[in-house]
Chains A and B, each alone.
Chain A
Amino acid sequence: MIECKLKKELSAAEGKMMLAVDFRLQKGDFVVLYGNSGAGKTSILRMLSGLLTPENGFIKQESNIWFDAEKKIDLPIQKREIGLVFQDYALFPNMSVEENIYFSLPKKKDKKTAEELIELMELGNLRKQKIQQLSGGQQQRVALARALARKPKLLLLDEPLSALDHSMRTKLQDYILKLHKTYNLTTILVSHDPAEIIKMADKVLVLENGKITSTGTPISIFSESKLSGKFQFTGEVLAKIDEEVVSILHILIGNNVIKSVSAKDEIAHIQKGDKVLVASKAFNPIVTKIE
C-alpha cells in the first residue's frame, strides 16, 4: 500500500499554485492521474519518485517511509524502488536494447527477470539493436522492460504513450496491462485520454489546480452528470456522402469505421477531417456475446 500526503508550492505558467494532495493506493491498483496540463500531475510523480521534494507531508510504502517532512526523512530516488517511464523514453543512446535493460540490474547475475521481460515485451529480435534504430513504440517497450527489470514496488508512467500514433498506443496499452497483471504491480499513469483511462484504470484521480477534485472508477468519472443509457464516442470524419435528403458520415472511432445517417442541414457544417462527438440513446441496443 502507498499512502501519501503532499504539499508544495509550484510555480506554473500562470503564477504560483499550491499543490496539496492526499491519497492512498492499494497494492495491485492501476491508478490514473487525470487533469489539464499544469494541474500538477507530473509534479506528483516526481515527488513520489524522489526527484522533487515536497515542502510538507509524507510518503509511505507499506511500512517504509520514503518521505516525512517532520522526521526529516527523504529517501533518495535510488532507494525508493520505483520504475519510472517518460514520454521521451529516456533510453541510453550509448547502449544496445539489451544493455539498456541489463543496466538496471543490481547484480549482473540475476538476469532472469530481464530475460523474462525481453520475452514478454517481444524484444528478442531487437536485443542487439542500437536505440537510434528503433521506432517510438519499440523504444517505449524497451523503456518499460528496463523500468521493471529490477522489480520495482511502484511503476510510475508519465504520459508514456502520448508521442505515439493511435494503433501503436493501443498495442502499448495492452503491453502495459500485461505487465501490470503479470507482476502484480501498483501503477500510476498520467494520461489525458479518456478512452485510454477507461480501458486501463481501476481508479481515477482528477486533478485541478493542484487539488484532487474527484476520485472514482473511470466510468463514474467520465459519465458523471450525463444521461444514463447513452453512447458517447469521439471520432474523426473520414467521408461525407450526400444523398437526396440525408447525409451519411463515415466516422473513425477507435479502430472502427461507423456510418451515421443524419438530416442534411443538421450536419451541413461538418466536413471531412473534423473531430466529432457521436452520441446516441442506448435504450434497447442489440448486445451479443462474442464467442
Chain B
Amino acid sequence: MIWESLWLTLKLALTTTLLLFVIGTPLAYWLSATKSKTKPVLETLVSMPLILPPTVLGFYLLIAFGQSSFLGKLLEDLFGFQLVFSFSGLVLASVIYSLPFMVHPIQSGFSSLPVHLKEAAYSLGKSKTTTFFKILLPNIKPALLTGIVLSFAHTIGEFGVVLMIGGNLPGETRVASIAIYQEVEALNYGNANTLSFILFVLSFSILLCVYLINNKSLNRIVK
C-alpha cells in the first residue's frame, strides 16, 4: 500500500509536470511578450493558486465537474469518464494548482532575455516559431528546469485539493500525502513515518539538484 501510493504520487507528478510544461511554456511566453489589456487579469488567475486555500479550488472543481453538474454529465455521457474521484480529475486539479510554479520562472526567464535577441533572429529571416525553439528556449534553460522541478515538487506535496476532488480511493486517488494522513488517523505511525521520510528525502534531493545545476550554469555564464 505504501508503494502503491508512492507510485501514484510519482505518476501524478510526472503527468502534471508534462502537461504543465506544454501548457505553461507558451502561456509564459505570451505573458512576457504581450501588451494586451487582459494581461493583469490573466496573471492574477495564474497566480491565484498561490494564495487560495486548496479547498476552495477543490470545492469549485467538485461543483463544476460533479456528477450532478452540466459539465460532469456531458463528460460522462460523451466519453464515459468521470473527473471527480478519479485520477484524471486529480491531474486536472494539479495542473491548475501548480500552474504558477511552472509559469512564473519561465515567464521571468523570457522577460530577462534582451529583446534584441528576438529581433536579430527575425531580421535574419527566421520565423517566430524557429526563433522560439532555436533561440529563446535554449537561452532560458535554467528557468525551464526551475519551472519543471518546482511543479513536480509542488504536485508531490499536494494535499487539500486532492482530498477535495479525489477522495481516498486506493490505487486511483490515494497519493502519498493522503496515505500519510490516513495512516496517522489509524495510528499506524510506522507506515506514516516511512512515507513521510521518503517524501522528505525526495523533495530535498530534487531541490538540491536544481540549485546545483542552476549555480553551475550561472558559473558558466560568469566565466
Contact = CB atoms under 8 A, between A and B. Distances in A.
A93 to B, nearest CB: 6
Interface string B211-223: 0000000001101
Interface in A138-156: 143, 146-147, 150
A51 B221 contact: no
A83 B123 contact: yes
Given A103-B134, A132-B221, A92 B117 contact: yes
B119 interface: yes
Interface in A171-198: none
A92 B136 CA distance: 9
A88 B124 contact: no
B1 interface: no
A201 interface: no
Interface in A112-161: 132, 143, 146-147, 150
A106 interface: yes
A63 interface: no
A90 interface: yes
A150 B122 CA distance: 13
B23 interface: no
Contacts of B121: 92, 103
B120 A77 contact: no
A82 interface: yes
Contacts of B221: 93, 132
A77 B119 CA distance: 9
A109 to B, nearest CB: 16
B125 A150 contact: yes
Contact of B122 (A78, A106, A132): A78
B120 A78 contact: no
Interface string B194-223: 000000000000000000000000001101
B125 A106 contact: yes
B123 A88 contact: no
Contacts of B117: 90, 92
B134 to A, nearest CB: 7
B145 to A, nearest CB: 14
Given A86-B116, A88-B114, A88-B116, A94 B138 contact: yes
Interface in B3-32: none
A86 B120 contact: yes
Given A90-B116, A92-B117, A84 B138 contact: no
A143 to B, nearest CB: 8
Interface string A62-104: 0000000000000011110111101010111110000000011
Contacts of A76: 122
Contact of B123 (A92, A106, A147): A147
B3 to A, nearest CB: 41
B214 to A, nearest CB: 16
B33 interface: no
Nearest to B134: A103
Nearest to B140: A94
Contacts of B135: 92, 94
Given A92-B139, A94-B138, A103-B134, A78 B116 contact: no
Nearest to A81: B125
A78 B125 contact: yes
B68 interface: no
B139 A51 contact: no
Contacts of A106: 125
Nearest to A92: B135
A81 B123 CA distance: 8
Contacts of B39: none
11 contacts: A77-B119, A77-B122, A78-B126, A84-B120, A88-B116, A90-B116, A91-B120, A92-B135, A92-B139, A143-B120, A147-B124
Given A84-B119, A103-B134, 13 more contacts: A76-B122, A79-B125, A86-B116, A86-B119, A88-B116, A90-B116, A90-B117, A92-B121, A94-B135, A103-B124, A103-B126, A106-B125, A146-B124
Q: A-B pairs with the 8 shortest C-beta distances? A: A90-B116, A84-B123, A104-B124, A94-B138, A90-B120, A77-B122, A86-B116, A78-B125
